[in-house]
Amino acid sequence: MIAIQRLVLKKLDNPIPWSQLRNLEIKRDFVVVDLLEAQTKNFLYGPPGVGKTYLALQLAGCIAKGVPFLDTFNIPEAKRVLYVGAENPIIDLKERLLKQESGVGTLPDDLMLHSVFNLDLNTSSGFYRLNTWVEAYHSEVVILDPLYQLTSADESQLHSNNSLRKNMDKLITDYGILELFVHHPTKGSYNSFGQSYSRGLDDLRGAGWAMWLDTAMKIGGQADKPNRVLEFPKLRNAPPRGKMQIHFNGQTRLYEVTDRDTLDDLVQEIKSLGGSCLVPDLEERFRDKPGFSNIGRLIKELKTAERITVRTATKNEYSKPGRRPNVVDVVD
């Protein structure tokens, strides 16, 4: 219902009166809580060989199944996902997903996959093909991997991709989908004289694409090492988040978090208790856990990031005599 309301609001032909907007029950609709919101444009990028496609496929499977991503980001409900690969043949996608199924279980048919090497989203014909698939499969999430194979223009030059950006904006307006582009920011190419040059930047911040997109996730590390780092240079509508240490499991081809964020753990604990908890109870629960020696400081950081609110407990929540302690509530 929320997604429908937001879609209708975006498609109004005339301005909406403030009195109507004020009374419209409308909330942010996160496909992946505190990370990816519906009707947004997002990038997953990093240097060649670090496993961007594996991470994108893992994300696609989690969204299609409705299970947490990296055991950290909750996914409220399963969505229909369309994954369009433009770099790997379909047999490669099959083999990678079979490996991942050994770790996450059987993936649903709501995960649709296509391998195509002649799709140019900078043209009307290319966009028409993608539009047809989205409409036919009722897709809610579209993952395009990688960007440089899906445009005939140099993707490091934003003005050269005006048609692509307008086409993808239109797809969001028409269908309310979430879009995720997998991007090789330093992929090499050749000019008309046969001279090689680097396409794009190592970091998207400050680049034209960074202004257009809503969320940027950057995976870094060495291709021959299993330990990687996942960063979040841009989170437009989600709380700030630090680096995550992740490990690539060679058997399942899945990523696992190795250095969990203590703030995330604290929020998840409060959510498991119904979204509210007495501060003394939290202190007791985390008393012997590494990284939680100063619950007060962690609560202050979460409050500053607007991920929780703090209030005095009511009589129903704390009936003992004396001063009532504080209660923390997770912000929806």
Q: For 153-208, how does the pLDDT look when each residue is reduced to its tens digit (9 = 90+)?
A: 877 666 778 899 999 999 999 999 999 999 876 555 544 455 554 454 455 544 56
Pairwise pLDDT comparison (198 vs 249), residue with the higher score:
249
Does 62 score more than 80 pLDDT? yes
Does 7 score more than 70 pLDDT? no
pTM of the full structure: 0.73
Query: Under 8 Å CB-to-CB from 231, ≥6 apart: which residues?
Result: 217, 218, 219, 220, 243, 244
Roughly how many angstroms between the first and final C-alpha of the chain, as a whole number?
16
Mean pLDDT of the chain, nearest integer:
86
Pairwise pLDDT comparison (257 vs 75), residue with the higher score:
75
Q: Go through the domains of the chain in sequence order and give each one's CATH number.
A: 2-260 (3.40.50.300), 264-330 (1.10.10)
pLDDT value of residue 266? 84
pLDDT value of residue 193? 53
Does 214 score more than 90 pLDDT? yes
CA distances from 131 to 9, 50, 123, 138, 155 (A): 21, 30, 12, 10, 21
Structure tokens at 55: 């991470």
Q: What is the mean pLDDT of residues 294-305?
A: 85
pLDDT band for position 293 (cuts 50, 70, 90): low
Q: For 63-107, how does the pLDDT look when each residue is reduced to its tens digit (9 = 90+)?
A: 999 999 998 899 999 999 999 999 999 999 999 999 999 988 999
- Kindly give the pairing relationship between strand 308-312 and strand 111-115: unpaired
